[in-house]
Amino acid sequence: MSIQSDFFRDRVVVITGASSGIGEQLALKLPVHGARVALASRSGDRLEELAARIGAEGREVLTVRTDVSSEPDVDRLIQTVRERWKRIDVFISNAGQYIQGSIEESPPDRFHASLAVNFFASMYAVTRLIPLMSAQGSGSIVFINSLDAKKGIVGDAPYAAAKSALDRYGDILRQEVREKGIHVLSVYPGRVDTAMIGHIQVPRMSPKISPGRVADAVIRGIRRKKAVVTVPGLYRPLGAGNDLFPRVFDRLYKWFRLEGRVR
């Protein structure tokens, strides 16, 4: 199904974690739909290379080197975009870090580090976006979450804990800001074929999906004002199934070795 539409024409879209993976694909695809894109990442050189590709097509693009775990950096990102384009129509909180470890072997600082980038970074942005988008009377906030928030995988405790916090945060935010004209979308991809999990070999029954596939699903979800998008869609029942039959799902995950293997 085509996702071509005038929905994004001249809309200002901020993408964190834009230098690779899902963020890079969104950065390349959204300008084709007419969006003005602001790209944020810690990798300044990579951002500039990406911006050059987008600008060569005559598209409007802005880069802001940003560490999303730093509240002042998030402030500067939002202020820089507003100075350039006066508004923010879509904010895609995509930056993340795959911080692994068992509960027994993970010290508290590993959980703090995961929460800083995988949860608090989104919260910093939201606290600044709500007044801005409320004044505009519109806007979309998108959280790139993970299926780990629906069913935790052994060995992913710090990452899954942070993504689970983001899951409930997004659920409550969606309800709180609906009447302000703000749309909230939470996206739950399976394992995505990016450098972040390049060291993990996964079983055939649960292959890695392409970043482009997730980006297309995000674009459709924003345009259709979805509340939740799961990629691939066949995993939609995962959370409910785990709530109803937790031990069954524990056994299935162990039986099929869904935690994968380190290469």
* CATH of residue 18: 3.40.50.720
Asked if residue 57 is part of any domain, the answer here is: yes
Neighbours of 228 (CB within 10 A): 17
Asked if residue 223 is part of any domain, the answer here is: yes
Q: Domain limits at 106?
A: 12-262
125 contact partners, CB below 8 Å, separation of at least 6 = 16, 68, 74, 78, 91, 93, 141
Asked if residue 178 is part of any domain, the answer here is: yes
Q: What does the pLDDT average to over 5-19?
A: 95
pLDDT of residue 197: 84
Structurally, how many domains does the chain consist of? 1
Asked if residue 110 is part of any domain, the answer here is: yes
4: pLDDT strictly greater than 70: no
185: pLDDT strictly greater than 60: yes
pLDDT of residue 2: 44
Asked if residue 6 is part of any domain, the answer here is: no
Condensed to tens digits (0 to 9), the pLDDT of residues 31-60 reads 999 999 999 999 989 999 999 999 999 999
Mean pLDDT, all residues of the chain: 95
pLDDT of residue 107: 97
pLDDT of residue 64: 98
Q: What does the pLDDT average to over 11-27?
A: 98
As a whole number of angstroms, the distance between CA 219 and CA 202 comes to 27
Asked if residue 155 is part of any domain, the answer here is: yes
Label residue 5 by pLDDT band (50, 70, 90).
low
Backbone angles phi, psi at 72, to 5 degrees: -60, -35
Asked if residue 5 is part of any domain, the answer here is: no
Q: What does the pLDDT average to over 119-127?
A: 98
Q: What does the pLDDT average to over 138-145?
A: 98
- In terms of pLDDT, which residue wins out, 205 or 136? 136
**Could you tell me the two tokens for 158?**
């710090």
Q: pLDDT exceeding 70 applies to what percent of the chain?
A: 98
Q: What does the pLDDT average to over 18-41?
A: 98
Label residue 3 by pLDDT band (50, 70, 90).
very low
Q: What does the pLDDT average to over 160-185?
A: 98
Backbone angles phi, psi at 258, to 5 degrees: -70, -10
56 contact partners, CB below 8 Å, separation of at least 6 = none
Label residue 210 by pLDDT band (50, 70, 90).
very high
Label residue 263 by pLDDT band (50, 70, 90).
low
pLDDT of residue 161: 98
**Could you tell me the two tokens for 23?**
């963020």
Asked if residue 3 is part of any domain, the answer here is: no
Condensed to tens digits (0 to 9), the pLDDT of residues 221-251 reads 999 999 999 999 999 999 999 999 999 999 9
> SS3 of 135, please?
helix
Condensed to tens digits (0 to 9), the pLDDT of residues 77-91 reads 999 999 999 999 999
